Structure 1
Amino acid sequence: MSSAHESRPVVVGVDGSDASLHAVRWAAAEAHARKVPLKLVHVIDTENDFPFVADDLEEEEALGREELKAAREIATSEDDSLEVERELLRGRVNRAFVDLSEQASLLVLGSVGAGFFTRMVLGSTALSLAHHAKCTIAVIRGAEGHPVPRTSGPVIAGVDHTDSADIVVGTAMQEASIRQTNMIAVHARRRRGSHEADEEARGRIDRLVATWGAKFPAVEVETVIAEAGPTKHLVALSSSARSIVVGSRGRGGFESALLGSTVQSLLFHAECPVIVARSRVAP
């Protein structure tokens, strides 16, 4: 990763909901650990089916500025030296965040928004960005009825046979280093496999961990080969995990279109933050 890339901000969506404020806290810790700015963004969707009149738009902009101000206070509550930028945008929400992802090191969203319509928009935004974002994204989830992200537990890496395994392991080890916890690398196959296939998968994970271990030597890693399908196994692990890292698509252990099954399930059912790894961390 170039020094220019390393200076790109952590971008977080702000909409005034409790979920987005949890995301702001989580993103602030990321930005502090990565030594990059935090960028707070509120998008007024002016391209939906309910066009704003001038007075409504002015009111929405005033509300957006207040929400950004409150988010900044939360972001700097534990580190007032953190560099924080604020941006109020108009346009289509999905497109705005895809454009922002071009210059971000990480894009962070809450799992739900404020009110029915916003929840619907934010849910579709998270899924859309899992497909189209140009950087790694994190959707900040918690357990049902307790949406605050967990502050203990391991980082789980869902590792398949594709080239994305390298990105997933590197991202998960970086996240474990930032959160000062351990990592569990999970290869979950969809059907019964052979001992030889399991050992091949374990050996591949071990080689990736050894490569990344030079950059993140303090991170302890455990490898698990599971017979349960990836969706079922990762959702179950999310109940005790600090976060889960998966690739943007996969096959083999995560065969078929990952975004159409495992990632989508995690985005709506995981009990911890879900990180969809796209940007490669340089070893």
Structure 2
Amino acid sequence: MAGEDGRDSVVVGVDGSNKARLAVRWAAERAAERSLPLHVVYGYGLVARYFATEAPVPPSVIETLLEEAQTLVESAADEATEVAPGLAVSVEAVDEPPVPALTHRSRKAALVVLGASGLGGFTGMLAGSTAVAVAAHAHAPVVVVRCGEGRTEPPSTGPIVVGMDGSSLSDRAVACAFDEAQRRSAPLVAVHAWADVEDESVLRRARMFFTNSPEEKDVRAELDAQLGDWQAKYPDVEVERVLVRDRPRRQLLDRSETAQLVVVGSRGRGGFRGLLLGSTSQALIHHAQCPVMVVRPPKGDEG
């Protein structure tokens, strides 16, 4: 998927936090895999910091903040080249809030990478507001780098797991997942779980006790059809198909414990029109045990 449609870099957002440092290291590896430069962005939003006062910001404060911002992005660049020597890295510290800064720069990005939470997050917050908002609005796939319990680094082994539901957005997620699996010589686990309802009728609950029903055969045929073309394009990728009557987020969260990446569309087939992030993608951003890639629909097709 790298380099398509003029997308010419991997963008990583930083803020000086340890989670952002992990995101920089992960992003550097992905940029090197793609032979793309890495662009480090820090949206420090000076104006937003002083929105509650009409008093002018002292020049000395502005100068200090600019120096700190430049030091922060240069430190991130050093971290990136430590991971991937020879990687082309550019840096940018901009006086914009981080969400619009990263969303704007996602237009030309192959991938946008963020830490799970930043310095501004409340204690105990599972994922930062920046990560959630960028995943909801970006023009490129967004990866939220999560490590999981008991880890200090994101996992580098295990399968690539992709959630499927037969939708066109799901197909975009499958394409990204196959690409990631081939780049890393990793197996792909394609999960289609289709009991994503809170309350089921007596008839539907009864169906869950039977296998090979007409409904299951239809879902399996849909899964086979969606995977077929991609398996032909990526013949070296080992694929495991998982067809299960369960809630998608529960299946994907469970499988994130042994995966190195989970890939999902920003919303599922059952989501409301205009919904930017579905319940499954939000659950993964907050709770997954590995990095999560959220794939967005093409701009103009969000509804």
Contact 1:155–1:182 (CA under 8 A) maintained in structure 2: yes
Equivalent residue number for residue 20 of structure 2:
20
| SS class of match (1:81) | coil
Q: Which ranges of structure 2 fall in alignment gaps of 5 or more residues?
A: 52-56, 198-203, 299-303
Whole-Å Cα distance in 2 between the matches of residues 199 and 73 of structure 1?
Answer: 53
Tell me the TM-score normalised to structure 1 length: 0.88
1:223 aligns with 2:241: yes
2:143 is aligned with 1:138: yes
Q: Secondary structure at the match of 2:102?
A: helix
1:58 & 1:118 partners in 2: Cα distance? Answer: 30
Aligned to 1:210: 228
What does 1:256-275 align with in structure 2 at a 5 Å threshold?
259-275=277-293
Do the aligned partners of residues 234 and 29 (structure 1) sit closer, same or farther apart at CA in structure 2, a change above 3 Å counting? same
- Provide the TM-score with structure 2 as the length reference: 0.83
Q: CA deviation at 1:224?
A: 0.4
Letter in 2 for 1:57: I
- Retained in 2: the 8 A contact 1:136–1:279? no
Q: 1:50 to 1:184 in 2, by over 3 A?
A: same
Which of 247, 261, 264 pairs up with 2:265?
Answer: 247
Offset of residue 109 of structure 1: 0.4
**Alignment deviations for residues 165-194 of structure 1 (CA, whole Å, 9 cap, x no partner):** 210111111111222211100011126566
Tell me, yes or no, if the aligned pair for 2:28 and 2:83 is still in contact at 8 Å.
no
* Whole-Å separation in 2 of the counterparts to 1:2 and 1:269: 28
The equivalent of 2:66 in structure 1 is 61
Q: Alpha carbons of 1:71 and 1:205: their partners in 2 closer, same or farther (altered >3 Å)?
A: same
State the SS of the aligned residue for 1:76. helix
Give yes or no for contact 1:19–1:147 (8 Å, CA) kept in 2.
no
Q: What is the aligned partner in structure 1 of residue 301 from structure 2?
A: none
CA distance in 2 between counterparts of 1:142 and 1:126 reads 15
Deviations 1:214-238 (A, max 9, x none): 4422211111012220122211111
Distance 2:163 2:124 in 1: 27
Query: Pairwise mapping of residues 122-201 of structure 1 onto structure 2 (< 5 A)?
Result: 123-190=128-195, 195-201=213-219
Deviation at 1:113, TM superposition (A): 1.1
Question: 1:49/1:88 Cα in 2 relative to 1: closer, same or farther (>3 Å)?
Answer: closer
Q: CA shift at 1:7, angstroms?
A: 4.9
Say if 1:131 and 1:248, in contact at 8 Å, map to a contact too.
yes
| AA of the residue aligned to 2:168 | D
The equivalent position to 2:78 in structure 1, one of 68, 73, 82, is 73
Q: Percent identity?
A: 37
Bigger radius of gyration, 1 or 2? Answer: 2
Q: 1:247 to 1:260 in 2, by over 3 A?
A: closer
Report the alpha carbon displacement of residue 115 of structure 1 after superposing the two structures with TM. 5.2
1:32 has 2:32 as partner: yes
Residue 88 of structure 1 pairs with residue 82 of structure 2 = no
